[in-house]
Each structure stands twice: as structure tokens, then as C-alpha cells.
Chain A
């Protein structure tokens, strides 16, 4: 009887999810309520978790709760720490959820709400969660080894090298593009710039407190820090209202770019306890609070979605970034659907802390579902504002003009009515001078969040506070990615340099620290700078590059997973990882080809460079712009080269994998599975970790 009731309940959930999806996909009425997005997402995630992840656990991986995990075998209280599954879920989620699931869907909203929403839900269920879950499982069975180590052992040495290169490439491009998002959010905004600048002394204060006065008392220090940051958000308004102070904090794109590079260098070279770690604590608390507040706000306010399901820009002529739905929607939304970077977390800290193998399903698959839900919330926030406003905020000046009147004429001409006064009064009500041409997704998401929050608490009166809270929240955790990523990049460069000259690999050697920090900051700083000076807005070139590199890493992870599953003899179910891998290879190769060779100068790097070269040859470029144009041509050719290198890595990896799989299937080579031997757990069945020692 109980089983029957359960079955009926699950059928009801599935039917409800299908009905909500059908409503989202087929509704062509004037307005669609955002509740449908929440219902569709939650029901699909529940069904995917209940059925698909259970199938993977049982048939594909055969998770074994009697097997001791690395956390139990090596429990040292430092790297290997047995952790309660809910706590580890929180850890893992905080690590995988960065700005990607917020910014990607916001940018992809230019196609309309439908393609991005469907990709977020289906991509997560069938690709992203599968990757995170299986890589976590593989790492648990190998004592918490990293993706690179597993690629080297299970695929080949070349596979491991490609994984290492892919991680470095993704780091450089990721840091450049997220820094650009921050620059575009802070440009000419003294309020936002002051608030973010204040987080640096606040973080240093916390760092000193945690290092010298109350070592390790993270909770109390974080409460103090969060209170100070919230005060800085309010104080930002006073700064913006005081002309002399506002002048100091009103910075242009190039100045902000160099400030971020200086910050990244300092965070990488200074002791980790002084700046990087305390900022991460602040960011984690504010991130968790803001994401849950956004979800709660959407549930309470239930805003109507004003963006159509499909816009005219599905033809590839989008102002935010150029390119058709296929492949660019799938490249633009990486985090939230599938992100290769997650495989580094799934083969990093999490496998060393997991209590039981069975928890891998909840943590690996479940946390990615939650991140996908965050992506759906961001899509709702972006689509809840009038489309005209969305395009005015996210389009570069070269396309819509730099005045409210010009933007209004252009955007209204596209069929998305926008009065010039609307942008002026919106900017005024959020405490900004202008909201035009803020490509990058952060400002439009902040406007969407502020409108949702102010409908719940404070009304119009608090709109400006909420807007700057949202900007601070986005910029704060983007900076956390920036400084943590720069530091990791520094270690990778020191390791690579150490192969040539050994002393360079010593992580405590100051000249090595300074040189490697300079190299990594110089690398991502160059991409940032070219994005800032790009007349097309930077995001148009850099976000697809980031998407391609991220999906490349996902392809690496799925190749490793597929190879391990083959060695485990799970050929019957190999399609679980093989199909998402094939899909990723198709979209990354198509996107790479179009970004390099498309004849449309807004898509193809080479055709844009050629168009500019033709203009120079025809004497159409004024003498004072000649040097800038030459640099632009060089940047476009450089981007084409980087894209080609990424595509080449994918091709080499695929050929390498096919060769390995052929040998495995034809038994030409003896295959070895590098799992650690089975050791039975000493912990009782009901042991959950909560009573571990300190109860």
C-alpha cells in the first residue's frame, strides 16, 4: 500500500513538472508567471534525482556503503575529515556555485526565456550532475585524486597533460572574463566602487583578527565582517551624494581594470590569511544569504516574466553577443547546466571529506541540481524586467548608442518598446547616473534582484539600496573567484616553471611568488584589458571563449569517466557519460569553428580583424585611432589562436581516448583499474558524522 502511494505521488510530481514545462514552452500569452519556472524546475529536479541518479548509483557505479572512504582511512583532521553529509553538501555547493550560474543565464536571456531554461534543466539532469557525481565517485575510489592525476593514470600521460593545460587555459580566460563583469558593473558608479573597495580593509581587519586575536573563530569574525559590509553598502550612498568623494570613486573601465589586476597580484602574493581567506568567508555568507533571499523573493513576489519565450535574436544578430541559439546558448550557459570546472571540485576537497560512498549521489548530483535552480532563478530575474530595459543595459554603445534617446530609438525599432525617460528614471531610482551599456549581466541581474527584493521589503524607497547590495554581492564573490583563481594559477605556473628550474617551484620563495603572480595576472589581465577597450563590449568575444574552455574541461572529465566505466565493465550503460561527452564535443567544435571562421565580423574573430584591416587600408580610420585599431586587430587574431588551440586540445583528447577505448574493447592491451583496494568501514550503519568525537 505504501509503495503504491509513493508511486502515485511520484507520478503526480512528474505530471506536474511536465505540465509546467508545457506551459513554459507553449504559452504565447502576454505574461507568464514565474511560479511556472519554479514548479517546472523543482519537479524535474526531483524526478531526475529520484530516478536517474538512483539508476546511476545502482547500475553504473554500484555505490557501496560498506567500503571505507578516504576520509575514514586517512582521517587526519586536515585534508581528510569525515564530514556530515548535509555539511559537506553545503561545502560542495558553496564551492561550485560562483558567478557563472547567475551571469550565463542573464546573458542567454537575449534569446528569450525558453532556450536557456530548457538547457538549464535538461543539461543539469543529463550532463552536469552526471559529470559531478561520477567524477566524485571516481575520486573517492582513488583516495581523492585530482582530475589530472586520474586522466594520467586511467587514460594516458597525454590525457593528463591536456587536462592540466585545460585547467590553466580555463583559469586565465575565466579570470579575465569575470573581472570584465566586475569592471562593467562598477564603471562610473561611485556607490558600487566605494562599497567594493571597503571590502578590502574589512577583509584585512578580519584577517588580522582571525590570525592573532581569535585564531580560527570564523563564525564570530564573519558576523562582524558581514555587518561592516552591509554598513558599507549604506555608506556608499553618502559617498555618491558627496561630490568631492564621488569624484574619487568614479572610475573609468581602464582604471578599474588596472585596479583589479593590482588587487589580484596582491591577493596572490600576500599571505593567504591576510586578504584572500577572510574575503572568502565574507563572500560565502553573503552568497548563501543572497541566493536564498532571491529564491524566497521570487516565491513571494511571483513576478510576471515579460521577456518573450523566443526573441528575434535567435537568428544570431543579438546585441549582447552575436551567434545563433545553436551552439551559442549552450556555450553561454555553462555553470548551471554543465561546467567542467566542477570536476576540479569533485576531485578536490569533497572526496576527501565524504563519510560514505552512498553520500556521493546526494552531494555530487544534488548540489549540481541546486546550482541549476540558481540558474533558473537568475533567468527569471533577468526576464522579469521589460525586454527593452534588459537590452538597454546589456548592449554595447556601438550597437544601441550611448544616450537614452538613441538607445530608445534603436531598441524600440527591434520591437521592444522603450521610452528614453524609462532608462533615466530607472538609473535615478537605483542611485546611478546611467544604466546604459553595462554589458556583462551583473547590472541587469542586480536590477532584477532589486526589483524583486524591493517588492518584498521597502518598496521603491529601498530600490537603490537593494541594487547596490546586489552589485556588492555579485562583485564580492566574483573577486573571491578572482583572488583564489589567481593564487591557484600562481601555484600551477610555479609547478610548470619548476620543471625547467627547480627553485622556482618552491612556493615560499619570494622571487618565485612575485614572478609567477605577475605572469598569471598579466595573462588574465591582458584578456581583461582587451575586453575593456573592445568597441563590441568585450563580453561578445570573451564569454564564448570562456564557455568553450569550460566545456573543454567538461569533455576531459567525461572522457576520464567514460574510460573508467569501460574498465569497470559497464559497457551496457556507457551512454550515460558518452552522450553528454559527444554533445559537448559537437557544441564546442561548432562554436570554435564559428568564432574563428564565421564571415560575420561580430561572430568571427578573423573576419572582424580583416574588416578592420580593410578599413585601415581604405584610409577610413583616423590617424589618432590607428594604433588602437591595430591593437584590436592583434587581439582578434590572438583570440582566434586561443580558440584554435582549445579546439585542437579537444581533438587530440578525443583521438587519444578513441585509441584507448579501441584497445580496451579489443583487449589488445591489459587494462588496469587504479582503484584503491576494498577496506571495510569500521563505522556502524547509523553513523552520520554528527556525533564524531565532539558530541
Chain B
């Protein structure tokens, strides 16, 4: 039974993480992780600035199909 619970909780965590990644909820965390790993080659944006910057990038090219 505990094994089933562990598996279930792992699965729920994976689904939750997948959902956050899919909808963009975790985008800032990923951005911070990337800047940490790659070194500070550019100034790190605040959550507010990153949010607007990311939207401007995303909606300047075709991203929704017919």
C-alpha cells in the first residue's frame, strides 16, 4: 500500500509539474535556472519584466494555427 501511495504521489507531482510547464507557470523558474547555469551573460530580469518580455517574444511570430 505505501508503495502504491508513493507511486501515486510521484505521478501527481509529475502531472502538476507538467501542467505548470505546459501553461507557462514555471517559466520564470526555468529562466532563473538557465541564467544560473550559463552565468550572468546578461542582466537578470525581474518576474514582472520577464513576464512581459516573454509575452512580447511569443506573440511576435505565428504561434497559433488555424
Q: B-contacting residues of A (Cβ < 8 Å)?
A: 75-79, 81, 83-84, 86-87, 90-91, 94-100, 146, 167, 171, 174, 178, 210-212, 215-219, 222, 271-273, 276-277, 280-281, 284-285, 334-335, 339, 341-342, 344-345, 348-349, 480-481, 484-485, 487-488, 491, 507, 546, 550, 690, 692-694
Contact = CB atoms under 8 A, between A and B. Distances in A.
Contacts of A546: 66
Contact of A216 (B27, B35, B60, B63): B27
B61 A348 contact: yes
A484 B56 CA distance: 11
A324 B57 CA distance: 43
A488 B37 contact: no
A324 to B, nearest CB: 24
Contact of B65 (A276, A281, A339, A690): A339
B53 A78 contact: yes
B61 A216 contact: no
B6 interface: no
Nearest to A97: B65
Contacts, number: 147
Given A79-B57, A215-B48, A272-B56, A693 B63 contact: no
Nearest to B50: A216
Contact of B23 (A178, A284, A491): A284
Interface string B19-59: 11111111111111111111000000001101111111111
Nearest to B41: A76
B14 interface: yes
Contacts of B48: 211-212, 215
B62 interface: yes
B56 to A, nearest CB: 6
B65 A77 contact: no
Contacts of A94: 22
Identify which of B31, B37, B48, B59 gathers the most chain A CB atoms within 10 Å of its CB.
B59
A344 B62 contact: yes
Nearest to A342: B65
Contacts of B50: 215-216
Contacts of B52: 211, 271-273
Interface of B: 14, 17-38, 47-48, 50-66
27 contacts: A78-B54, A81-B27, A90-B18, A98-B64, A98-B65, A98-B66, A146-B61, A167-B62, A178-B66, A211-B52, A216-B47, A218-B23, A276-B59, A277-B59, A339-B65, A341-B62, A341-B65, A344-B61, A345-B62, A348-B62, A481-B65, A481-B66, A488-B60, A690-B14, A693-B30, A694-B29, A694-B30
A146 B20 CA distance: 27
Contact of A87 (B22, B51, B53, B56): B22
B36 to A, nearest CB: 8
Given A178-B66, A507-B60, A219 B20 contact: yes
Contacts of A171: 62
Query: What secondary structure prevails in chain B residues at the interface with A?
Result: helix
A433 B63 CA distance: 37
Contact of B64 (A86, A90, A334, A480): A480
Nearest to B15: A86
Given A171-B62, A222-B23, 6 more contacts: A75-B37, A81-B34, A95-B64, A97-B65, A215-B47, A491-B60
A485 B64 contact: yes
Contact of A77 (B24, B34, B55): B34
A210 B65 CA distance: 25
Contacts of A174: 66
Given A78-B57, A167-B62, A178-B66, A281 B38 contact: no
Contacts of A99: 66
Contact of B61 (A210, A488, A550): A488
Contacts of B51: 210-211, 215-216, 273
Given A178-B66, A219-B20, A694 B61 contact: no
Contacts of B64: 95, 98, 280, 480-481, 484-485
A543 to B, nearest CB: 11
A125 to B, nearest CB: 19
A341 B63 CA distance: 10
Contacts of B31: 77-78
B47 to A, nearest CB: 4
A550 B66 contact: yes
A344 B65 CA distance: 8
Contacts of A280: 64
A77 B36 CA distance: 10
A191 B37 CA distance: 52
Contacts of B25: 216-219
B24 A216 contact: yes
Contacts of A349: 58, 61, 63
Contacts of B47: 215-216
A102 to B, nearest CB: 10
A690 B17 contact: yes
B21 to A, nearest CB: 4
Contacts of A480: 64
A480 B58 CA distance: 14
A96 to B, nearest CB: 5
